[in-house]
Structure 1
Amino acid sequence: MARHLYSCPLRWSDMDAFGHVNNAVFVRYLEEARIDFMWRLAPGEGSASFSGGSVVARHEINYLRPLVHRHAPVTIETWVTKITAASMTVAYEVKDDDEVYVRASTVVVPYDLEAGRPRRITAEEKAFLEAYRDEPGDAPGAPEQGEAVAA
């Protein structure tokens, strides 16, 4: 199983009054990694895969430890834990060499912008996603339902 790696820079404005990256900012980090994964890596030259739009149906984020501002980027590993006919679940770890700061998952629904409704995942999209698929219980970084986290 492959994982997509995204190098995410930290911005000074990402910090809150407590001196660490604000919890809401992590949603933006996950979005950047997910967009990089789905659109930049979409299969085939000139492929329309993933270009029609998508919507987030659900986020689950487990904050494991504070991340303070620094000049070095963090790595966001992205992989797929579930594929259905009309949705996919993307898992993430926000980390560096020594620490995992966040484990998260997002349910993404492909969306037909012109028709204004959800659409099914194409065969080409499914083939691409399968290369990054790992079962939730098998992936060491996948968040588990009700996982205890450090405060």
Structure 2
Amino acid sequence: MQNSSAPSAGLVWSRAFPGRLDQAAHARRFVRFLLEDTPCADDAELIVSELAGNALRHTRSGTEGGSFLVEVTLARPPGTPGVRERGGYVGVLISVHDDGGGGVPRLLDHGTPPGAENGRGLAIVTALATRVGFQGAPTLGHTVWVYVRTTSA
């Protein structure tokens, strides 16, 4: 049974990227292209940059033959039978799936010391997000997801 107050999926795009550091820039452009006319395009680009970078640095995605998958879902208001234009959407769900390995994503760990060169990215992601989470395991891979509300509807 679907919760009638929850947004439902509208449009969904996904793209797999080879596990090379230069592919994070391609992932950013992919998300920018999809969301360029939404109010969350800048935030979404920053979010996917951080999540793709983490997948490449901290999992098997960044090793020879590795890859990561980016999925972007526009959510529409509950009860909307069909949306013909992007203006009818209330949020975007951004997911990045990695190849596993490493530890568990630390989405809510804000213990990075001031002045540290690394470790603030996920804190920024959680600050931009309405909701965040992950699923998976080091053996199978993780999917880190971030939901950003685009309207008050």
Q: TM-score range by the shorter chain?
A: 0.3 to 0.5
Return the structure number with greater helix share.
2
Query: What's the TM-score, normalizing by structure 1?
Result: 0.34
- TM-score normalised over the length of structure 2: 0.34
